[in-house]
């Protein structure tokens, strides 16, 4: 049976990209870009380096009071009762609220929409094609707690300290239940069950690909190599703890929520739905966001609680998570188990791939992105004719998982790249040569992989060769010998990757031309990616004006009317596309305004290089002259000439690249030093190389962190999370990271006007694979090591000693 | 409650505050100096670094009373006469910040490092000395460059060794 991953209209057309290219014509050819492609210094920085940023907790309102949550110490327990009477007697306590109070006010659930839904996302379902059961998500539960740290009550007091003291005095009567946290254990038929609506904990069970041809290929293959991998549970750790400030205006009946997130517009709709009010009654403000990495994209319960309590108490209510709350209850990431097998012929050609992916969604299903995103990429950068994939997701008594930097893609990259290293080792191939033999070739682009993903463009072999050059792969052998002479074990890690950037398909831009400058209002939500700079570069070039004349406005839903937020590397691509369309409309509008203003034939007006000219007049006017003419022409233009443009773009892009690293292990201690790290990343058109390099650097650190230090470890005896502070959760730090050599490859994507792919996640995608590949290479003399992530010195030391005794 | 007097960014401040108030809380919530950020509660992240009589301290672990009678400089007080401090300029020039949340603490810690380190500053020294500040966005690469760039401006080229060029191309 052939079950296509994709449910799409134009999948089989010869060139799905042609219509888009025709529809969106750039107002100037790329060779005339003045600002695009330059490392323009950021507009964001001046406020951030002088202490004038506007992060959520920086806002304070007159009369504000403070909320603190009462959190479950149990991984799984029935809530038999909550006694708030002692807390209510405490100094300064204004109110103590439980799920029953919210229910009495008719508050709804957070309406998570976990199944990715663009035309090109995989169609995950429950067993037998049934809808995915996602679990209830009320702001405070009434029946039971399902993970340690789940909030069961909120205390509001005059000061934060009083609220903390009040929370200590809330008496919750719990009846502990059996629990399960481990991903594989949670799938057992007799595992403790989280949701009564399901017969077990498995909420997604779908099979994709070509089962028959995959089976045939495996049956006839000269070699089959298999592996089981687990990319464990980590969390985003934005340095700004999540925070929320709620306000209610009784006169207008409007709520205001100050809360940094991955998209204010989304939060506005989610929170108004929880409160049961129309979206116009909810304003969300999200200006500077101190890191997101995906784990802030979905609504947190505190967002709803502070606005609800603000109305209840008639005073603004503020919440700020402390760091241990962030470790326990920020959305987490990864936690995907893969069992993967590769069929290979006698000449080293890959024939088919079979994978079973299991995603741990935690206590509620907030997002299936980690499972879905990887599902379309299981064959990686390689031409593998047939594949089948069994995708499952499971509930467990842990915090919910959500997209975390390069959601789902490091997991499948790890599986295919580590499997190829293993195949090379076991079958006696050079690991680079085996990859080279099987890479998708530029002549095959656009290339539809065995599970239906259509790779838009890319030069994979060229990336690999360039990487080997800048990483001095040829010199590695000598460096290895030198290290050995010093008693150290040097290892080289290598990985290729391809990833997809999809994301919410709709974006809106308001383009406003005024005599003093141009404003673009757009609904993406940066958390350090520099949209105020890179979007201004695009706008400036397309209009033909100076970069300094453009201002980008984001983050206040009273100004930003629509927008998809920032995730999946979507922002630059979607913003540049919708801005291109808005500029095209604005040029048409400008021609009409000039014609009307000078009383000439509109057809005689031409636009070129930032100026309008007419054969019917000797006037040449720029955009700012035009705005002045427009204001004189009609009061409609009093606040500038405005264009609102919406765009819907489903077609994904496939950033790709190659990555290598060099490590040195001290066999006496198992200690590891990261010596070199080099990448080549095809990001499509690079708008601002300074920003893109920075994204790659940060992405590398997060991927390396997962491989070497990070982990949301749960004690198998008690179910207690053990990482609740920076003392317990290993972070990439100044002194454990190297400098990087990063190179940008620009293979222009044919899918969108500027040819953008994405640059935010490529640093992370291959990083766990490349680090573990290096560790394996360093330890080969001790036999193929069995080291799990995070690869701590103890694990490495143990592997060395096991190898010695074997 | 105690009456607390100190100099903050050159101005004399006197306030009545509760005794358990932390310096970070005093700066942010009593003085409105929200450039000093709080990223953890255990003196680990360094977002809250300010100068106390010119020395870097993590202000989330200093009681306001301990700062009484002393001079505090925060990120808001670093630029003088409308001119950015060389460290601030270098962070912008070298893209040493992304989300900007750790940045005030980074800049304050780096400023003190450059002002007080007796020897030659190089990448290794910067990485060792700055270890008490966390960043989640940059992978530290460009922060190291920013600090060494500022150090060269402040100390001269003889006291600083710059790292090897890193981007194979596309930087310029």
Q: What CATH number has the domain bearing residue B49? A: 3.10.20.30
Q: Count of CB atoms within 10 A of residue B90's CB?
A: 27
Report CB contact under 8 Å: B138, A697: yes
- Residue at B67 is within a domain: yes
Burial A173-205 (b: 16+ CB within 10 A, else e): ebeebebbbbbeebbeeebbbbbeeeebbbbbb
Alpha carbons A278 and A734: distance in angstroms, whole number: 47
- Residue at B172 is within a domain: no
Structure confidence at residue A15 (pLDDT): 42
Report CB contact under 8 Å: A694, B95: yes
Do B13 and B51 lie in one domain? The reply is: yes
Domain termination site, one of B42, B77, B112: B77
Mean pLDDT of the region B136-151: 98
Do B90 and B141 lie in one domain? The reply is: yes
Nearest CA to A259 out of A310, A314, A311, A296 is that of A296
- Give the distance from CA B152 to its chain's centroid: 18
- Measured on CA atoms in the order A539, A543, A548, A552, is the torsion positive or negative? negative
- Residue at B164 is within a domain: no
Domain termination site, one of B22, B48, B77: B77
How many structural domains is chain B composed of? 2
Q: Which residues of A touch B28 (CB under 8 A)?
A: 57-58
Q: Which of B39, B92, B171 sits opposite A239 (nearest CB)?
A: B39
Q: Which of B95, B104, B136 sits opposite A690 (nearest CB)?
A: B95
Domain termination site, one of B77, B103, B130: B77
Q: Which residues of B touch A673 (CB under 8 A)?
A: none
Mean pLDDT of the region B149-170: 83
Do B12 and B62 lie in one domain? The reply is: yes
CATH architecture of A2-7+25-53+503-648: 2-Layer Sandwich (3.30)
Report CB contact under 8 Å: A733, B93: no
In this predicted model, what pLDDT tens digit does every residue of A587-615 receive, in sequence order?
Answer: 999 999 999 999 999 999 999 999 999 98
Class of domain A332-502+652-805: alpha beta
Q: Which residues of A touch B84 (CB under 8 A)?
A: 49-50
- Residue at B119 is within a domain: yes
Structure confidence at residue A220 (pLDDT): 97
3-class DSSP state of A758: coil
Report CB contact under 8 Å: A686, B33: no
Structure-token pair, residue A186: 């949670």
Q: Which residues of B touch A707 (CB under 8 A)?
A: none
* A382 touches A449 (CB < 8 A): no
Do B65 and B112 lie in one domain? The reply is: no
* CA count, 13 A, side-chain hemisphere, A82: 28
Report CB contact under 8 Å: A291, B137: yes
Report CB contact under 8 Å: A689, B136: no
- Residue at B167 is within a domain: no
Alpha carbons A771 and B93: distance in angstroms, whole number: 31
Closest Cα in chain B to A694: B138
Alpha carbons A194 and A529: distance in angstroms, whole number: 38
- Give the distance from CA A529 to its chain's centroid: 12
- Determine the structural domain holding residue B149 and report its residue range: 86-159
Q: Which residues of B touch A731 (CB under 8 A)?
A: 134, 136
Inter-axis angle of helices A571-598 and A531-543, nearest 10: 40
CA-based nearest distance A183→chain B, Å: 27
* CA count, 13 A, side-chain hemisphere, A335: 33
Do B72 and B107 lie in one domain? The reply is: no
Report CB contact under 8 Å: B103, A48: yes
- Measured on CA atoms in the order A185, A190, A195, A197, is the torsion positive or negative? positive
Q: Which residues of B touch A60 (CB under 8 A)?
A: 29, 32
Rg over CA atoms, chain B:
17
Report CB contact under 8 Å: A239, B103: no
Alpha carbons A335 and A663: distance in angstroms, whole number: 25
Structure confidence at residue A806 (pLDDT): 65
Q: Count of CB atoms within 10 A of residue A611's CB?
A: 15
Alpha carbons A229 and A790: distance in angstroms, whole number: 13
Alpha carbons A747 and A769: distance in angstroms, whole number: 24
CA-based nearest distance A701→chain B, Å: 5
Which residues, numbered 3 to 62 in chain B, qualify as contacts with chain A under a Cβ-Cβ cut-off of 8 Å? Answer: 20, 28-29, 32-42, 44-45, 47
Q: Which of B34, B88, B167 sits opposite A693 (nearest CB)?
A: B167
Alpha carbons A201 and A395: distance in angstroms, whole number: 5
Report CB contact under 8 Å: A239, B84: no
Q: Which residues of A touch B130 (CB under 8 A)?
A: 734
Q: Which residues of A touch B139 (CB under 8 A)?
A: 697-701, 732, 737, 740, 763
- Residue at B133 is within a domain: yes
Side by side, the strands of the sheet bearing A489-498 are: A489-498, A656-666, A671-682, A741-745
Report CB contact under 8 Å: A732, B139: yes
CA-based nearest distance A418→chain B, Å: 24
Q: Which of B44, B99, B107 sits opposite A727 (nearest CB)?
A: B44
CA-based nearest distance B5→chain A, Å: 23
Report CB contact under 8 Å: B41, A530: no
Closest Cα in chain A to B46: A239
Inter-axis angle of helices A431-438 and A409-427, nearest 10: 120
In this predicted model, what pLDDT tens digit does every residue of B9-54 receive, in sequence order?
Answer: 999 999 999 999 999 999 999 999 999 999 998 999 999 999 999 9
Which residues, numbered 105 to 124 in chain B, qualify as contacts with chain A under a Cβ-Cβ cut-off of 8 Å? Answer: 107, 123
Interface test with A, best of B64, B96, B137 (most A CBs within 10 A): B137
* Location of each CATH 3.30.365.10 domain in chain A: 2-7+25-53+503-648, 332-502+652-805
Omega before A790 cis (within 30°)?
Answer: yes
CA-based nearest distance B158→chain A, Å: 22
Q: Which residues of A touch B21 (CB under 8 A)?
A: none
CATH of the domain at B138: 1.10.150.120
- Residue at B27 is within a domain: yes
Report CB contact under 8 Å: A53, B166: no
Q: What is the DSSP-derived secondary structure letter of residue A258?
A: E
Closest Cα in chain B to A525: B99
For residue A234, the cross-strand partners are A333
Alpha carbons A507 and A577: distance in angstroms, whole number: 9
Alpha carbons A532 and A528: distance in angstroms, whole number: 10
Do B121 and B56 lie in one domain? The reply is: no
Report CB contact under 8 Å: B136, A324: no
* Location of each CATH 3.90.1170.50 domain in chain A: 56-177+243-320
- Residue at B168 is within a domain: no
CA-based nearest distance B148→chain A, Å: 13
Structure-token pair, residue A406: 């390069």
In this predicted model, what pLDDT tens digit does every residue of A391-431 receive, in sequence order?
Answer: 999 999 999 999 999 999 999 999 999 999 999 999 999 99
Alpha carbons A696 and A54: distance in angstroms, whole number: 25
Q: Which residues of B touch A41 (CB under 8 A)?
A: 92-93, 95
CA-based nearest distance B37→chain A, Å: 8
User: In chain A, which residues have pLDDT < 50?
Assistant: 1-23
* Domain over A56-177+243-320 is classified CATH 3.40.50.1220: no
* CA count, 13 A, side-chain hemisphere, A222: 10
* A413 touches A380 (CB < 8 A): yes
Structure confidence at residue A18 (pLDDT): 43
3-class DSSP state of A377: coil
Q: Which of B44, B95, B123 sits opposite A739 (nearest CB)?
A: B123
Q: Count of CB atoms within 10 A of residue A279's CB?
A: 15
Closest Cα in chain B to A239: B39
Structure confidence at residue A606 (pLDDT): 95
Backbone angles phi, psi at A744, to 5 degrees: -100, 130
């Amino acid at each position: 049976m052939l079950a296509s991953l994709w449910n799409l209209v134009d999948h089989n057309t010869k060139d799905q990209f042609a219509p888009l290219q025709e529809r969106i014509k750039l107002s100037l050819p790329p060779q005339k870009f003045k600002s695009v492609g330059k490392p323009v210094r950021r507009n964001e920085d001046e406020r951030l380096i002088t202490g004038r940023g506007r992060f959520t907790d920086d806002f304070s309102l007159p009369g504000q009071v403070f909320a603190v949550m009462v959190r479950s110490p149990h991984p799984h327990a029935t809530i038999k009762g909550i006694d708030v009477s002692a807390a209510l007697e405490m100094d300064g306590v204004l109110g103590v609220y439980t799920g029953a109070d919210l229910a009495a006010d008719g508050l709804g659930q957070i309406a998570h929409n976990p199944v990715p839904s663009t035309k090109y996302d995989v169609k995950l379902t429950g067993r037998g094609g049934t809808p995915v059961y996602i679990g209830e998500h009320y702001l405070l539960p009434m029946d039971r707690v399902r993970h340690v740290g789940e909030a069961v009550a909120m205390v509001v007091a005059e000061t934060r300290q009083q609220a903390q003291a009040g929370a200590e005095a809330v008496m919750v009567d719990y009846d502990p239940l059996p629990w399960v946290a481990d991903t594989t254990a949670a799938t057992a038929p007799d595992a403790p069950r989280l949701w009564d609506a399901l017969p077990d904990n498995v909420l997604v069970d779908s099979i994709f690909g070509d089962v028959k041809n995959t089976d045939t290929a495996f049956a006839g293959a000269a070699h089959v190599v298999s592996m089981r991998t687990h990319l464990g549970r980590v969390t985003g750790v934005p340095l700004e703890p999540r925070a929320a400030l709620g306000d209610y205006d009784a006169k207008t009946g409007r709520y205001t929520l100050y809360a940094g997130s991955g998209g204010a517009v989304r939060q506005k709709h989610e929170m108004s739905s929880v409160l049961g009010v129309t979206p116009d009654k909810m304003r969300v403000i999200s200006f500077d966001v101190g890191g997101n990495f995906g784990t802030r994209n979905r609504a947190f319960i505190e967002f709803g609680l502070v606005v609800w309590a603000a109305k209840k108490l008639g005073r603004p209510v503020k919440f700020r998570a402390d760091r241990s709350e962030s470790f326990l209850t920020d959305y987490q990431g990864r936690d995907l188990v893969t069992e993967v097998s590769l069929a290979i012929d006698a000449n080293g050609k890959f024939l088919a791939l079979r994978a079973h992916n299991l995603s741990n969604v935690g206590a509620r299903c907030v997002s299936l992105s980690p499972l879905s995103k990887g599902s379309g990429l299981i064959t990686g950068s390689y031409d593998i004719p047939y594949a089948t994939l069994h995708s499952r997701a499971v509930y467990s008594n842990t915090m919910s998982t959500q997209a975390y930097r390069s959601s789902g893609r490091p997991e499948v990259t790890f599986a295919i790249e580590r499997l190829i290293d293993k195949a090379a080792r076991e079958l006696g191939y050079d690991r680079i040569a085996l990859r080279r033999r099987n890479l998708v070739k530029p002549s095959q682009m656009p290339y539809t992989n065995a599970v239906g993903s259509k790779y838009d463009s890319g030069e994979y072999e060229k990336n690999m060769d360039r990487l080997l050059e800048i990483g001095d792969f040829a010199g590695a052998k000598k460096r290895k010998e030198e290290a050995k002479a010093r008693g150290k074990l040097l290892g080289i890690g290598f990985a290729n990757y391809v990833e997809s950037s999809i994301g919410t398909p709709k974006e809106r831009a308001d383009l406003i031309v005024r005599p003093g400058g141009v404003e673009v209002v757009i609904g993406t939500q940066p958390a350090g990616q520099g949209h105020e700079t890179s979007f201004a570069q695009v706008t400036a070039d397309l209009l033909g004006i100076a970069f300094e004349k453009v201002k980008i406005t984001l983050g206040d839903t009273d100004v930003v009317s629509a927008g998809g937020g920032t995730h999946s590397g979507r922002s630059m691509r979607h913003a540049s596309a919708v801005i291109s369309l808005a500029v095209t409309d604005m040029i048409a509008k400008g021609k009409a305004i000039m014609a009307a203003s000078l009383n000439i034939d509109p057809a005689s007006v031409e636009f070129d290089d930032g100026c309008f000219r007419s054969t019917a007049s000797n006037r040449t006017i720029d955009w700012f002259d035009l705005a002045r003419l427009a204001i004189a022409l009609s009061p409609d233009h009093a606040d500038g000439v405005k264009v609102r443009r919406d765009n819907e773009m489903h077609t994904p892009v496939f950033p790709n690249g190659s990555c290598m690293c060099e490590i040195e292990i001290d066999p006496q201690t198992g200690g590891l030093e990261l010596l070199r790290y080099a990448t080549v990343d095809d990001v499509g058109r690079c708008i601002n190389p300074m920003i893109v390099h920075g994204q790659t650097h940060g992405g590398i650190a997060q991927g390396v962190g997962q491989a070497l230090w990070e982990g949301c470890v749960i004690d198998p005896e008690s179910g207690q999370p053990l990482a609740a502070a920076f003392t317990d959760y290993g972070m990439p730090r100044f002194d454990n990271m190297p400098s990087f050599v990063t190179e940008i490859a620009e293979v222009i994507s044919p899918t969108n006007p500027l040819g953008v792919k994405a640059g935010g996640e490529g640093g992370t995608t291959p990083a766990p694979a490349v680090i573990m590949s290096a560790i394996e290479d360093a330890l080969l003399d001790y036999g193929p090591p069995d080291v799990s992530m995070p690869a701590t010195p103890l694990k490495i030391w143990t592997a060395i000693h096991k190898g010695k005794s074997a | 409650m105690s009456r607390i007097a100190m100099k903050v960014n050159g101005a004399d401040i006197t306030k009545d505050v509760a005794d358990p108030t932390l310096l970070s809380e005093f700066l942010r919530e009593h003085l409105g100096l929200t450039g000093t950020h709080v990223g953890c509660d255990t003196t680990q992240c360094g977002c809250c670094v300010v100068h106390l009589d010119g020395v870097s301290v993590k202000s989330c672990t200093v009681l306001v009373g301990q700062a009484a009678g002393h001079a505090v400089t925060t990120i808001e007080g670093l630029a003088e006469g409308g001119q950015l401090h060389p460290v601030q300029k270098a962070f912008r020039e070298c893209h040493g910040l992304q989300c900007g949340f750790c940045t005030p603490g980074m800049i304050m810690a780096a400023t003190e490092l450059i002002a007080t380190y007796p020897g030659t500053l190089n990448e290794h020294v910067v990485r060792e000395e700055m270890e008490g500040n966390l960043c989640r966005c940059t992978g530290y690469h460009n922060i190291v460059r920013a600090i060494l760039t500022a150090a060269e401006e402040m100390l001269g080229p003889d006291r600083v060794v710059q790292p090897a060029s890193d981007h194979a191309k596309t930087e310029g």
